[in-house]
């Protein structure tokens, strides 16, 4: 049976089940914090120039700090689906399955997904930060649904 507006020769593509995608540029979302970071980077480069007396070392300090804070300066793409999460950054992409995560901690601009049941010193290297889009309601609901599906505990619930 055809519904109004349907064409039998060209059926509509199947809807993607449980998939979300968005791009976040923290420089635009967190303007005040980004300005503080820029001032810090410029002050560090200037201090390096004064102390070491070489513009080359000042440039090295500037480059290292810009790369360190690349999350702020370059956009990130987030893709969530039924299998897991993919994050594309300036340095490349990273994919993790939902089953790898054991805990989650919500913060103001996103959620930190952790792979260990308890806190550890090396958690920073194994965890994944997911920054929410400008309107985070749908993303929070999606992540919470995956928590329930895979029994992930959340430490701080944003709602």
Residue-range domain boundaries for the chain: 26-70, 76-154
Burial of 113 (0-12, 13-18, 19+ CB in 10 A): buried
From its phi and psi, is residue 155 left (phi > 0), alpha (psi between -120 and 50) or beta? alpha
CA nearest neighbour of 93 among 128, 64, 121: 128
| pLDDT(8) > 60 | no
Count of other CB atoms within 10 angstroms of residue 150: 14
Residue 152 banded pLDDT, cuts 50, 70, 90: low
Segment 23-59, tens digit of pLDDT: 999 888 888 999 999 999 999 999 999 999 999 999 9
| pLDDT(6) > 80 | no
CA nearest neighbour of 103 among 90, 116, 121, 87: 116
Greater model confidence, 157 or 83 = 83
76-154, which class in CATH? mainly beta
Q: What is the mean pLDDT of the chain?
A: 82
CA nearest neighbour of 41 among 61, 70, 71: 61
pLDDT number for residue 44: 96
3-class DSSP assignment, residue 111: strand
Quickly list DSSP for 104-136: EEEETTEEEEESSSS--TTHHHH-EEEE--SS-
| pLDDT(63) > 90 | yes
Percent of all residues in the chain with a pLDDT value above 70, rounded to a whole number: 83
Greater model confidence, 114 or 120 = 114
Segment 102-113, tens digit of pLDDT: 888 888 888 988
Q: Are 143 and 156 in contact (CB under 8 A)?
A: no
Residues in the chain: 159
Percent of all residues in the chain with a pLDDT value above 90, rounded to a whole number: 40
Q: What pTM was computed for the model?
A: 0.73
Q: Average the pLDDT over 71-90 and give the result.
A: 92
Backbone angles phi, psi at 34, to 5 degrees: -65, -40
3-class DSSP assignment, residue 61: helix
């Amino acid at each position: 049976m055809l519904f109004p507006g349907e064409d039998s020769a060209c059926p509509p593509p199947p809807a993607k089940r449980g998939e979300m995608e968005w791009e976040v540029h923290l420089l635009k979302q967190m303007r005040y914090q980004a300005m503080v970071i820029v001032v810090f980077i410029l002050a560090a480069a200037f201090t390096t120039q004064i102390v070491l007396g070489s513009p080359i070392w000042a440039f090295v300090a500037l480059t290292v700090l810009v790369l360190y804070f690349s999350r702020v300066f370059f956009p990130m793409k987030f893709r969530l689906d039924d299998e897991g999460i993919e994050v594309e950054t300036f340095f490349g992409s990273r994919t993790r399955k939902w089953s790898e995560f054991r805990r989650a901690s919500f913060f103001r601009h996103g959620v930190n997904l952790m792979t260990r049941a308890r806190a550890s010193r090396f958690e920073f290297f194994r965890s994944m930060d997911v920054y929410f889009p400008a309107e985070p309601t749908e993303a929070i609901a999606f992540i919470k649904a995956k928590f329930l599906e895979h029994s992930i505990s959340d430490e701080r619930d944003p709602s």
